[in-house]
């Protein structure tokens, strides 16, 4: 079956008891056992729940994974992945990552004795030079948040594997509709389902997908032992969101292309960052490893923080707020929002300026979106 069909049907057969077409919300904690030596497929909802299991199966199908696990948030999913590390192990991370991931690495992992180093993700050789005997995980995002830089996934996967490490990629921005990292050599894919997978800004969730049975077993144990699982109702909301992922992403991308083209010619805009623009330095790589360019557009407004503040205050259709990936368009100021946990020096090193605005392009009418940006920039 093709992607759109699997998004609607994978793991979601009609309910055998009632014939319900939509997967029910199994709002239960426990399940009836037949006897001491007669186990049932479900025993306790922290361990497994039918609604969550359906979501995990559907996500695994879309990412081309043998196993998928869902957690209470994207950060809970990230914590599950790094749970396999022990003191002295090394994470080799791209310097261009989500601020929450950076915060977790620096303030959760490092105090636990995990070593972390960061390299520019745009050149695979940076990863080769930074590998150590203790490197267990190589961590990347592609496209990155918020600079929308790309990493050559296949090249970095080969480098990680040659050094005995696993490659983990946060695929939130691209979604499985536009990019399938496991097919390019990645070992683990992480998603914040809060974003495009849920798609309606009404559910928190995270997912971990892999083809490595040993890793899946370790993550599954952590899910059961730590308990940061996705609730049945949230699982149902994410399943509902998945059904329209393909059609939403097509409209998201079409709008994003139009907005990027509008911004790059605007006199108040210093630079526009979007992989779909031919002048993007990694445009050809995007065409090679992605089937679409996504719907995130970042730009630097002429001026700085003061001008950025004036811009967001004037927006009428775009909402100035955290998060991304919903049907509504959002504008964010990375320096004070998604990457506020980084020091000014760390943000400067990463290329995040006070005048940078990150746009999550929704599926509203494109004329309204263009007009809103134009009047706010004026």
Instruction: Enumerate the β-bridge partners of residue 210.
Output: 67, 188
Give catalytic status of residue 118 as yes or no: no
CA angle 162, 168, 172 (to 5 degrees): 150
In the block, residue with structure tokens 């303030």: 107
- 146 preceded by a cis bond (ω within 30 of 0): yes
Q: If you write DSSP's letter for every residue of 266-323 in order, what string do you get?
A: -TTEEEEE-TTSTTSTTHHHHHHH-SS--SEEEEEESS-HHHHHHHHHH-SSSEE-S-
Give catalytic status of residue 46 as yes or no: yes
Beta carbons within 10 angstroms of residue 316's beta carbon: 10
DSSP annotation of 352: -
Contact yes or no for 183/63 (Cβ under 8 A)? no
Closest CA to 209 of 193, 241, 192, 187: 187
Token pair listed for 75: 């950060």
Token pair listed for 161: 């594997």
Instruction: Judge residue 174's burial from the number of C-beta atoms within 10 Å of its C-beta, 0-12 exposed, 13-18 middle, 19 or more buried.
Output: buried
Give catalytic status of residue 195 as yes or no: yes
Contact yes or no for 210/66 (Cβ under 8 A)? yes
Give catalytic status of residue 214 as yes or no: no
269-273 and 296-301 strand pairing = antiparallel
DSSP annotation of 230: P
Which residue in 136, 166, 180, 195 is the catalytic one? Answer: 195
Which residue in 26, 98, 118, 222 is the catalytic one? Answer: 98
Which residue in 46, 240, 243, 287 is the catalytic one? Answer: 46
CA angle 247, 253, 255 (to 5 degrees): 105
In the block, residue with structure tokens 């497929």: 41
Residues annotated as catalytic are 46, 98, 170, 195
């Amino acid at each position: 079956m093709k992607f759109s069909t699997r998004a609607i049907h994978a793991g979601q057969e009609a309910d055998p008891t009632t014939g319900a077409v939509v997967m029910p919300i199994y709002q239960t904690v426990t399940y009836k056992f037949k006897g001491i030596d007669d186990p049932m497929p479900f025993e306790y909802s922290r361990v497994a729940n039918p609604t969550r299991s359906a979501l995990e199966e559907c996500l695994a199908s879309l990412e081309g994974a043998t196993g998928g696990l869902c957690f209470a948030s994207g950060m809970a999913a990230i914590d599950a992945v790094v749970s396999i590390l022990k003191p002295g192990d090394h994470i080799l991370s791209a310097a261009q990552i989500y601020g929450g991931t950076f915060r977790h690495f620096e303030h959760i992992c490092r105090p636990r004795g995990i070593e972390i180093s960061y390299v520019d993700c745009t050149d695979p050789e940076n990863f080769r030079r930074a590998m150590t005997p203790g490197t267990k995980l190589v961590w990347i995002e592609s496209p990155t948040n918020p600079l929308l830089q790309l990493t050559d996934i296949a090249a970095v996967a080969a480098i990680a594997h040659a050094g005995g490490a696993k490659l983990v990629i946060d695929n939130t921005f691209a979604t499985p509709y536009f990019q399938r990292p496991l097919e390019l050599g990645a070992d683990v894919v992480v998603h914040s389902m809060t974003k495009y997978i849920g798609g309606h800004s009404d559910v928190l969730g995270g997912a971990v997908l892999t083809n490595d049975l040993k890793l899946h077993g370790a993550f599954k144990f952590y899910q059961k032992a730590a308990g940061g699982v996705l609730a049945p109702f949230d699982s149902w909301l994410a399943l509902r969101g998945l059904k329209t992922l393909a059609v939403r992403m097509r409209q998201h991308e079409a709008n994003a292309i139009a907005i990027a083209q509008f911004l790059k010619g605007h006199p108040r805009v210093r630079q526009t960052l979007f992989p779909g623009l031919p002048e993007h330095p990694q445009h050809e790589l995007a065409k090679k490893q992605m089937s679409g360019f996504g719907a995130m557009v970042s730009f630097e407004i002429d001026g700085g923080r003061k001008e950025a503040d004036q811009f967001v205050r004037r927006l009428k259709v775009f909402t100035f707020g955290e998060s991304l990936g919903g049907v509504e368009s959002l504008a964010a100021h990375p320096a004070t929002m998604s990457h506020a946990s980084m020091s000014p020096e760390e943000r400067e090193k990463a290329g995040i300026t006070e005048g940078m605005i990150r746009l999550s392009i929704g599926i509203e009418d494109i004329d309204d979106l263009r007009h809103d940006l134009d009047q706010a920039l004026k």
